[in-house]
């Protein structure tokens, strides 16, 4: 049933891409006469059918090699659209080259028609992909082509994975149980512990498991290999929940030292020209926000001032790049003497220290809008690990391995951890993993993706308080 469903999904996706490509080509043809000279002979659409077929074939082949027909659960719409942009651009070039080779000078295809086709292909294929993504998600929610999932490890990591699965029914995972040496026979989070870890092979066969997720982040590499080797069914997909080191070593490059092979596990992504590009984006967007958003910022400052005594703006010392302190600007959202009795503490849900306007500001993260001043001054970036106060940094560096390595990049207004729900009073270990992943895997697209996700999730973040 599952295999049949995957064939249906793939076939309908290929058909959708072909239909949208043909539509884009036809619309490009309709606009083509606008670029023709008054005395030019406009060929009927039938003369372009060969070029359209070559363009469709080129797109399907390029999409195949870009693995856009390898359907993976968990791929976001943004990542899919980014891949589509790259693949469509390449396929248009390939299609033009094929047409020039096949027709030589027998067919006139103006440059603007190619540009129109590229633009329409991006739009319509993108719309088709979003519609198909929604179609698959709807069927997954209804239990069609569900992936029976077994979680190895019923500890904290296993709890995190189970909660993620339960809040993401559109991914089609169906958790059937845990494996855990210490809790065998018990029930954890309303899910049975089906046996011990060394029973993995027989449990997979007995319960027809499709996917195994190993949630043992503290296990050694030898232990992980031992667990995986027990899963003898080659059709079962195995995923491993990583620890901090595995995240840091996710991008391993092989080099050599005069013939001696070496593994490079910490090739920091953001340096050289990348820093310049990131800074240009920071300055450009922060300047636009500060200039065009100044009336709104003035209104918020006025509301804060009228609501409670004290300054509308205040600054708090935070740790940024290379663990250097800087003044982080924010709208005041708490009483002026909020920490007089408690000292430095994290904000919590329903925090009594908040003012009336402050509660609203914190709920929608509007208190952080003055951070754009820090970005413009170069003290922060739009995207990066969220800055912490020095007192908390000193605590966390003693508790969390590699915590200080998150300071290898500028602090950000938003970050990879925040768009994944890890803000406020959440696990500092998990936040550090996401921060380190960002530091090691930075790209301009990742920055834009995080900014888009921040805007999309602006009104529905349960950890904003």
Ramachandran bin of 238, using left for φ above 0, alpha for ψ from -120 to 50, beta for the remaining angles: beta
Model-level pTM?
0.70
CA dist list (Å): 351 to 347, 359, 362, 413: 6, 9, 11, 22
- Per-residue CA distances from 26 to 13, 22, 51, 97 (Å): 20, 6, 11, 19
For residue 209, what is the DSSP state? -
What are the structural domains of the chain? Answer: 2-141 (no CATH), 147-241 (3.40.50.720), 273-456 (no CATH)
pLDDT for res 252: 52
Q: What is the pLDDT of residue 47?
A: 82
Which range scores top for mean pLDDT: 27-36, 53-62, 197-206, 223-232?
A: 53-62
Q: Give the confidence band of 465 by pLDDT, cuts at 50, 70, 90.
A: very low
Do the Cβ atoms of 177 and 194 come closer than 8 Å? yes
Q: What is the pLDDT of residue 248?
A: 47
**CA-based max dimension of the chain:** 85
User: Given this model, what pLDDT does residue 249 score?
Assistant: 46
- Coil, helix or strand for 79? helix
Mean per-residue pLDDT over the chain, rounded: 83
Is 408 in contact with 268 (CB distance < 8 Å)? yes
Ranges of H-type helices in 66-142: 77-103, 111-141
Of 28-42, 194-208, 320-334, the range with the lowest mean pLDDT is 28-42
**Are β-strands 325-331 and 313-319 bridged in parallel, bridged antiparallel, or unpaired?**
antiparallel
Q: Is residue 10 within 8 Å of residue 153, measured between CB atoms? A: no
**Spatial distance between the Cα atoms of 306 and 419, rounded to a whole number of angstroms:** 32
Taking the CA of residue 363 as centre, how many other CA atoms within 13 Å lie in the half-sphere pointing to its CB? Answer: 10
What number is the average pLDDT over the span 11-32?
Answer: 92
Residues near 381 by beta carbon (within 8 Å), at least 6 away in sequence: 278, 282, 375, 409, 410, 411, 412, 413
**Tokens 């800087």, located at residue:** 326
DSSP calls for 388-422: --HHHHHHHHHHSTTGGGGGGS--EEE-HHHHTT-
Of the pLDDT bands very low, low, confident and very high (cuts 50, 70, 90), residue 227 is: confident
Q: How far apart are CA 429 and CA 242, in angstroms?
A: 12
| Rounded-to-integer distance, Cα 462 and Cα 465, Å | 8
């Amino acid at each position: 049933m599952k295999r049949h469903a995957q064939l249906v999904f793939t076939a309908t996706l290929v058909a959708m891409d072909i239909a949208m490509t043909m539509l884009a080509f036809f619309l490009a043809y309709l606009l083509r006469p606008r670029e023709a000279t008054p005395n030019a002979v406009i060929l009927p659409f039938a003369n372009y059918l060969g070029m359209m077929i070559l363009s469709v074939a080129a797109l399907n082949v390029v999409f195949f090699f870009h693995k856009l027909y390898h359907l993976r659960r968990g791929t976001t719409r943004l990542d899919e659209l980014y891949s589509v942009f790259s693949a469509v651009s390449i396929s248009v070039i390939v299609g033009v080259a094929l047409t020039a080779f096949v027709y030589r000078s027998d067919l006139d295809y103006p440059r603007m028609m190619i540009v129109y086709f590229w633009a329409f292909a991006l739009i319509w294929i993108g719309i088709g992909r979003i519609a198909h993504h929604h179609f698959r998600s709807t069927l997954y929610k209804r239990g069609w082509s569900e992936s029976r999932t077994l979680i190895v490890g019923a500890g904290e990591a296993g709890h995190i994975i189970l909660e993620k699965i339960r809040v993401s029914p559109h991914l089609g995972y169906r958790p059937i149980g845990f494996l855990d040496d210490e809790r065998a026979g018990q029930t954890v989070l309303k899910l049975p512990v089906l046996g011990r870890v060394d029973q993995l092979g027989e449990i997979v066969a007995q319960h027809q498991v499709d996917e195994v997720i190993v949630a043992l982040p503290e296990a050694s590499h030898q232990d992980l290999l031992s667990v995986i080797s027990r899963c003898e069914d080659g059709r079962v997909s195995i995923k491993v929940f990583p620890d901090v080191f595995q995240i840091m070593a996710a991008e391993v490059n092989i080099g050599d030292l005069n013939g001696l092979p070496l593994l490079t596990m910490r090739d920091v992504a953001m340096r050289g020209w990348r820093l310049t590009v990131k800074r240009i984006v920071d300055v450009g967007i922060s300047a636009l926000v500060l200039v065009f958003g100044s009336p709104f910022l003035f209104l918020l400052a006025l509301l804060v001032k009228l609501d409670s005594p004290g300054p509308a703006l205040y600054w708090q010392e935070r740790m940024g790049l290379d663990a250097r302190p800087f003044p982080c600007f924010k709208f005041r959202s708490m009483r002026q003497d909020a920490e007089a009795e408690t000292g430095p503490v994290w904000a919590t849900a329903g925090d009594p220290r908040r003012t009336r306007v402050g509660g609203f500001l914190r709920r929608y993260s509007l208190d952080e809008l003055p951070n754009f001043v820090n970005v413009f001054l170069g003290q922060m970036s739009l995207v990066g690990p969220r800055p912490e106060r020095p007192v908390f940094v000193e605590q966390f560096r003693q508790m969390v391995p590699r915590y200080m390595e998150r300071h290898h990049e500028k602090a950000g207004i938003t970050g990879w951890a925040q768009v994944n729900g890890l803000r406020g009073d959440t696990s500092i270990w998990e936040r550090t993993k996401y921060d380190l992943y960002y530091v090691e895997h930075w790209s301009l697209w990742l920055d834009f993706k995080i900014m888009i996700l921040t805007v999309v999730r602006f009104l529905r973040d349960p950890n904003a308080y």
